[in-house]
């Protein structure tokens, strides 16, 4: 008598269907993973831009608020104003001592970076054009545009930020408390 044994295994159709199911699940999972990575990068860039812009605007606000004078700047690259701080001067009596110095600070956008230029000098600059060896600091990158409106009683600065196609817009309004002329 012959014994017939049924061999156990998968049919070709079962293998094709299981392979298709595995590929479908893998495709769905990889799509979810890639979308999660994109979202994470977007959130990280947005958060970084928010923190950087918060620091930069507070830094600028602090410098403008503490300036002894704010004067016009004729440099075409500047935002239109220069901050003047008097060092070694009795500010209540406006008397100059022999160690008196002037610190001039202005801001420039170059490329997509907002830069701060500072000049310490013993002499007063009245021409509105500043030359010399400046210290330069990068305040923030990712700046598309800065528009500045300098009025007698306030300064309005509008910033357009763009980093990795994440865009943001901020406005900074600062009361100008230095109404006197720079003499």
Q: For residues 142 and 167, what is the distance between their CA atoms, to the nearest angstrom?
A: 9
Q: 13 falls in which pLDDT band (50, 70, 90)?
A: very high
C-beta pairs of 128-133 under 8 Å, 24+ apart in sequence = 128/71, 128/72, 128/73, 128/74, 128/82, 129/74, 129/75, 130/73, 130/75, 130/82, 130/104, 130/106
Residue 89 has pLDDT above 90, yes or no: no
- Is-contact 156 172, C-beta < 8 A? yes
Q: What is the pLDDT of residue 41?
A: 93
For 8, which DSSP code? P
Q: pLDDT of 112-168, one tens digit each? A: 899 999 988 887 776 666 666 788 999 999 998 898 887 778 888 999 999 888 899
Q: What is the pLDDT of residue 165?
A: 86
Q: For residues 118 and 111, what is the distance between their CA atoms, to the nearest angstrom?
A: 19
Q: 81 falls in which pLDDT band (50, 70, 90)?
A: confident
Q: What is the pLDDT of residue 31?
A: 97
Residue 91 has pLDDT above 90, yes or no: no
Here the tokens at position 36 are 């999660």
User: Mean pLDDT over all residues of the chain?
Assistant: 84
Residue 92 has pLDDT above 60, yes or no: no
Q: 75 falls in which pLDDT band (50, 70, 90)?
A: confident
Here the tokens at position 11 are 């049919």
DSSP H or E segment with residue 142: none
Residues in the chain: 183
Four-CA torsion 155, 160, 163, 166, nearest 10 degrees:
130
Residue 25 has pLDDT above 90, yes or no: yes
pTM for the whole thing? 0.74
Q: What is the pLDDT of residue 170?
A: 92
18 vs 101 pLDDT, higher one = 18
Q: For residues 120 and 137, what is the distance between their CA atoms, to the nearest angstrom?
A: 14
Q: What is the pLDDT of residue 153?
A: 80
Residue 66 has pLDDT above 80, yes or no: yes
């Amino acid at each position: 008598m012959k014994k017939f044994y049924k061999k156990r295994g998968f049919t070709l159709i079962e293998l094709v269907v299981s392979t298709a199911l595995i590929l479908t699940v893998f495709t769905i999972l990889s799509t979810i993973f890639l979308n999660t990575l994109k979202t994470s990068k977007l959130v990280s860039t947005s958060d970084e831009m928010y923190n950087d812009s918060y620091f930069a605007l507070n830094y600028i606000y602090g410098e403008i608020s503490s300036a002894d004078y704010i004067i016009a700047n004729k440099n075409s690259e500047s935002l239109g104003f220069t901050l003047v701080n008097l060092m070694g001067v009795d500010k209540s009596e406006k008397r100059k001592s022999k160690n008196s110095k002037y610190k001039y600070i202005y801001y420039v956008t170059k490329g997509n970076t907002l830069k701060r230029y500072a000049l310490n000098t013993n002499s007063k600059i009245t021409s509105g054009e500043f030359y010399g060896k400046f210290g330069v600091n990068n305040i923030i990158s990712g700046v598309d545009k800065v528009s500045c409106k300098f009025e007698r009683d306030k300064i309005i600065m509008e910033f357009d930020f763009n980093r990795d196609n994440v865009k943001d817009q901020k406005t900074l309004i600062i009361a100008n408390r230095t109404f006197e002329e720079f003499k």
